[in-house]
Each structure stands twice: as structure tokens, then as C-alpha cells.
Amino acid sequence: MRWMSNMAEILDGKALSAVVKDEVRSEVIELEAKYGRKPCLCVIIVGENPASQVYVRNKVKAAAYTGMESRLIELPADVSEAALLERIAELNADDAVDGILVQLPLPKHIDEEKVIYAIAPEKDVDGFHPSNVSGLWLGKDCIVPCTPAGVMRLLDSTETEICGKTAVVVGRSNIVGKPVAKLLLDRNATVVIAHSRTADLASVTRQADILVAAVGRPGLITGEMLKPGAIVIDVGINRTAEGKLCGDVDFASCAEKASWITPVPGGVGPMTIAMLMKNTIRCFKARQ
Ligand code: NDP
């Protein structure tokens, strides 16, 4: 059909995540041969949040695929903050553990910041510890949060030069918006960060050669808000009233305007998990 020729190319995060996981799989074999043990990722989940359970299951499944060791620690929703911190301290001291991830969000009675600070920075596979966050902003070689790292890998897979492009990041959270903006800045993009107080969002997004949406509002970004040919990365994971997964980007209208676009599901989500595997390898190597 003729109209198909104007459609964006799909940035297939599922396929790319398989490539990344295969890279990790090969590395695991090499590392075991060299050091006599496999990298080990430890995932802690507190309570029974269904979304968290899905994420954790997928992380453990991915670890198994790559051949690395993984441990899943399931704690009851009423576990005390002190008991959780004690488990983290044990894992920090355990030489066989390379990466520690505590699935967020945590129940209200537990201070997330305390938990993030408690993880040894060299085992912080999420890259949320302040020492890794400051490393990122100071341009040091450090652990980069998984979702932003996945966004960059998706962008690189388009083989588009990022240097000199205008990149607009919608969203300024510590876990996605801000680190993505810094990574784009590091690649010499001209970066604009938009947020809930941005006046006339559409006039800002229309400047974007690269648009990253990390908001949590279904369909916020529509085709008329895009510059023709933009690369669109949709980080959002939302559920419609019917329970269907969707992103922050209205896929149908944006696919008619963009050059590349990520789907939801099958875009950034699988890349986040693949980059977690990469971060675990990185932690293993740094600890040898
Ligand atoms: P937060 O809620 O922490 O941040 C949302 C950001 O969006 C805030 O900076 C907020 O602005 C901004 N915002 C809200 N409404 C608007 C609006 N109308 N116009 C412009 N900006 C707006 O979310 P997260 O960053 O944690 O997550 C964002 C989305 O990404 C969610 O859907 C989440 O589920 C998904 N996600 C997906 C991951 C993946 O692996 N694919 C991983 C992590 C998150 P302000 O700061 O002014 O409040």
C-alpha cells in the first residue's frame, strides 16, 4: 500500500535485546573460563505488587538465559526496614554476589532512599546509588541506569549521528528523564528537558530530531507534535482502561511522521532488562 512508504521504521527493542543478551551470554562463558566463576545477580522483591512480580520474573529469566547465576529473595510486604537493610548488608559482604537490585516501589513503611544508599555502589546494577549518579553527572566511568542505557543502545542501532542533533526529553525523573538527558548531552546532542510545567509542549517537541518520552501519560505525544523524520523513543508503560499496555506516544499518528519509532510493548522495556545483564557483567569485571 502506498501510505506504508511514509511509515516510520520500527525500532524493535525485543530483537535488539536478544542481541544484547547473546553478547552477555558469550561474555559469561569467557568470564567463567577466566575467573572460575559466573557473574551473579541478586534480585530482592518485597511484597506482592503484581507489576513488580512480572518485572522481577523477567529479570531472573533473562539472567538464566545469559547463563549467569541469579538469586531471587522474596520478602513479605511487612518486612521491617531494618531486616531489609540487614539482608542488603549481607549481600554487600558476599563475595559471590556481583549485582544487587531491590525492585521498586517498596511498601510505604520502608524508606527507598535509605535502601538505595545501602547497596554497595560497586554492586549497584540499577545505577541509582548517589555515587553512581554523581559519577554520571561528573562524566566518570560509572554504572549507568538500565533504562537510559537501553534508550541509547536503541538510538545507536539506527546508526544516526547524535552529535549536533536537537534532543527533547519529556520527563525529568531521576531514573529516566535526567540520566537520558545527560547521556544525550555526553554524545553532543543539544538537549532540552520538558516536564509538567513546560509551556506549550508541542512547540518544544517540534524542535526534536530525537524525542524521548518518559512521562507516564498514555498518548501524550501525538503526530502533530513531531518534526517530520524525528526518532521517537517511547519509555512510557501505561495501562489503558481495558488493561492493554501502551506508551506515552500515540503510535499510529507518530508512526506517520517519525523516521524511527519504538513500540510499546517491545521497545524500551526489553532493553532495560538486557542492559541490567550488561551492568551485572560490568560489576563482575570491576570486582575482579
Ligand atoms: P515519574 O512519574 O517519576 O516522572 C514523570 C515525568 O513526567 C515528570 O518529570 C513529570 O514532570 C513529567 N510529566 C508529567 N505530566 C506531564 C505532562 N503532561 N507534560 C510533560 N511532562 C509531564 O515517571 P518515571 O520517569 O519513573 O517513568 C515515566 C514512564 O516510564 C512511566 O510510564 C513508567 O512506567 C515508564 N518506565 C518505563 C521503564 C521501562 O523499562 N520501559 C522504566 C522506568 C519507567 P514534573 O517533574 O514536572 O512532575
Supply the DSSP string of the chain, one letter for each residue: -GGGGGSPEE--HHHHHHHHHHHHHHHHHHHHHHHSS--EEEEEEES--HHHHHHHHHHHHHHHHHT-EEEEEEE-TT--HHHHHHHHHHHHH-TT--EEEEPSPPPTTS-HHHHHHHS-GGGBTT--SHHHHHHHHTT-S-PPPHHHHHHHHHHHHTT---TT-EEEEE---TTTHHHHHHHHHHTT-EEEEE-TT-SSHHHHHTT-SEEEE-S--TT-B-GGGS-TT-EEEE---EE-TTS-EE-SB-HHHHHTT-SEE--SSSSHHHHHHHHHHHHHHHHHHHH-
| Nearest-CA residue for atom 41 of ligand 1 | 269
- What average pLDDT is seen over the chain? 97
CATH 3.10.20.30 fits 36-121, yes or no: no
The domain spans of the chain are: 36-121, 145-269
pLDDT in tens, 224-250: 999 999 999 999 999 988 989 999 999
pTM: 0.97
- Give the residue whose CA is nearest to atom 16 of ligand 1: 196
Ligand 1 centroid to 48 CA: how many Å?
Answer: 23
5 pLDDT band (50/70/90 cuts)? low
Domain 145-269 has what CATH class?
A: alpha beta
Mean pLDDT confidence for 186-203: 98
Mutate to test the pocket of ligand 1, among 146, 234, 235 (most ligand atoms within 8 A of CB): 235
Residue of higher predicted confidence among 3 and 231 = 231
Confidence band for 1, pLDDT divided at 50, 70 and 90: very low
Give the model's pLDDT for residue 139: 97
- The predicted pLDDT at position 2 comes to 41
Q: Decide if 59 is catalytic.
A: yes
Task: Let me know if the fold of 36-121 is the same as that of 145-269.
Answer: yes
Confidence of residue 6 (pLDDT cuts 50, 70, 90): confident
Probe target for ligand 1 pocket from 14, 215, 249, with the most ligand atoms within 8 Å of CB: 215
